[in-house]
Each structure stands twice: as structure tokens, then as C-alpha cells.
Structure 1
Amino acid sequence: MLTVYGIPNCDTMKKAFDWLKARGVAYQFHDYKQSGIGVAKLKAWSAKAGWEKVLNKASTTFKDLPPEAKVDLTEAKAIKLMIAQPSMIKRPLIEIGDQVLTGFRPDTVKVLEETL
């Protein structure tokens, strides 16, 4: 089963949803802004994909952090930031089998096409 994590009103999420629907791919959606996300899940994603790919440094939420919050980032610090502000988690984050895909770029699409 494929699970898509993110927030529904994000343009990148809409592209991913449209791509999946156009191909008739069944998926579950988890809105982590509304339903939350646990530390264990963030640690598991970080172990598989790397916390640097799970943390969305391009997000407005991350960019608006005070400078001292962004220096000397570690996995533990990044996870605390993402728990406090789920908007800092890369969107979409897709679990397919034992893989974790971050974002919706050509490389993500390629993995999905090869896996589905």
C-alpha cells in the first residue's frame, strides 16, 4: 500500500494526487498538519531517507525561523522542529513498500513508475 503524507492545499501535493489518480493508483493520505506525526515516524523516515531530505528547508516556516534555530542542525534538532511545525516536513512524503520518497520531482516519479 502506498501512503502519501502532507497537507492537502499544497500545490506540490496536488500534482502528486493528480499523477496518482491519473494512473489509477490507490493510496492512503495522512494530513500531518491535521492528524499530527510522531517522533517515531520522523525517526524512521530519517533513517531511510536522511533527515536532511525530510526537513523542508525551502518552506516559509523554516525560512521564518530565527537564525539561531537554523544553525548546527542535527537530526534530533530537526525532528523537534518538524514536530513543533509539521509544515517543515517535505511534501509530499511517500511511503511505498520499505521506501520513503520525499518531494515530487522527476526522480520520485521514476521510482514510483518502477515500483508500481
Structure 2
Amino acid sequence: MSHIVFFEKPGCGGNAKQKQWLLDAGHTLDVRSLLAEPWTADALLAWLAPLPVVDWFNRAAPRVKSGEVVPEDVDRDTALALLLAEPLLIRRPLLQVGDERKVGFDPAVVDAWIGLDRHAAQRSRAQSEGCAAGMSEGGCAAP
């Protein structure tokens, strides 16, 4: 099993579920706050650089949901500045095992990477990222 550095938004129901799936699969976690981390451009790009800019953003963040921030309309430098200024905009969780990093929690991808139980691996991306079902926007997306 793997030891995973797991950057979360404390109090997020979706992240709580994801952590439980990982623990149920026998992994150990070093849980850190995505919001409290003193991010630098280089540190954040270690996760984000391989992805298209639109995949850097947390689609459940209030500024994204309201249309104030439109990831499809933001260039790389502007996106990085926005995420550094407001970490709530960063797609989560950020996962690291050794030198390998992943952004977001797609159960099939995580299962292929480090292993999950077969039921967790079958869950859809929509069920595994963002706020837990029934949780109010303020309960998950608010800092």
C-alpha cells in the first residue's frame, strides 16, 4: 500500500469520502490543508503543469459557479495568479505518492495508480469530486 500526501479543503464532505476510500484500501495518509499551504508558483505547478489550464480549477468554487471566473477564458499566467491568491479555486484533492502527483479524484484513475477497493473504483468522477451530495455550497466551498 501507498503513503499519500493528501491536500484537502478541511471540512469538505467530498474529500472526507475520498480519504475514507483510500484508508479502506489500506493506504496511509498525510492530510494537509490546501488552503493553509504557503503555495508558490513552482510548488503548485508541480501538480498542475501537465494538465490543461481548465483542469486546474475547482468547478464547485463559488467564483467559478457564479461565472465570475471562467476557466476556459483564463490563460496560464492569469490562472496561476488566481489560484495562488485564492487556493479555494484549486481543483482538489492534490495527491502525491513519492514523486508522482495527481489532481482531482477520479476513482478509476486512482485505482489504476495505487489501488482502491473495487466498489470505490466504479464510482463516477461526478460522485467523487466536489461537494458531497446534499451538502450546502457554503459547507464545502466556503473557506
TM-score by length of 2: 0.65
1:31 corresponds, among 30, 33, 36, to 33
Higher helix share: 1
1:21 corresponds, among 3, 23, 27, to 23
Q: Is the CA contact 1:59–1:87 (under 8 Å) kept in the aligned structure 2?
A: yes
Q: Is the CA contact 1:61–1:85 (under 8 Å) kept in the aligned structure 2?
A: no
Which residue in the other structure is 1:98 paired with?
A: 99
Is 1:88 matched up with 2:89?
A: yes
Runs of at least 5 residues in structure 1 that lack an aligned partner in the other structure: none
Which residue in the other structure is 1:2 paired with?
A: 4
CA-CA distance at 1:5 after TM superposition? 1.0
Runs of at least 5 residues in structure 2 that lack an aligned partner in the other structure: 117-143
Aligned residue for 1:52, secondary structure, equals helix
Query: 2:72 & 2:25 partners in 1: Cα distance?
Result: 42
Query: 1:23 & 1:83 partners in 2: Cα distance?
Result: 32
Which residue in the other structure is 1:107 paired with?
A: 108
Alpha-carbon distance change, 61 to 9 in structure 1, aligned in 2, over 3 angstroms: farther
CA-CA distance at 1:23 after TM superposition? 2.4
Query: 1:17 & 1:9 partners in 2: Cα distance?
Result: 12
Paired amino acid for 2:42 = A
Q: Is the CA contact 2:47–2:103 (under 8 Å) kept in the aligned structure 1?
A: no
Which residue in the other structure is 2:44 paired with?
A: 42
Aligned residue for 2:101, secondary structure, equals strand
CA-CA distance at 1:53 after TM superposition? 2.1
Q: Is the CA contact 1:32–1:86 (under 8 Å) kept in the aligned structure 2?
A: yes
CA-CA distance at 1:11 after TM superposition? 1.8
Alpha-carbon distance change, 36 to 65 in structure 1, aligned in 2, over 3 angstroms: farther
Aligned residue for 2:15, secondary structure, equals helix
TM-score by length of 1: 0.77
Q: Which moved more, 1:28-37 or 1:58-67?
A: 58-67
Is 1:73 matched up with 2:104?
A: no
Paired amino acid for 2:30 = Q
Aligned residues: 113
Aligned residue for 2:37, secondary structure, equals coil
Alignment RMSD:
2.4
Q: Which moved more, 1:73-82 or 1:32-41?
A: 32-41
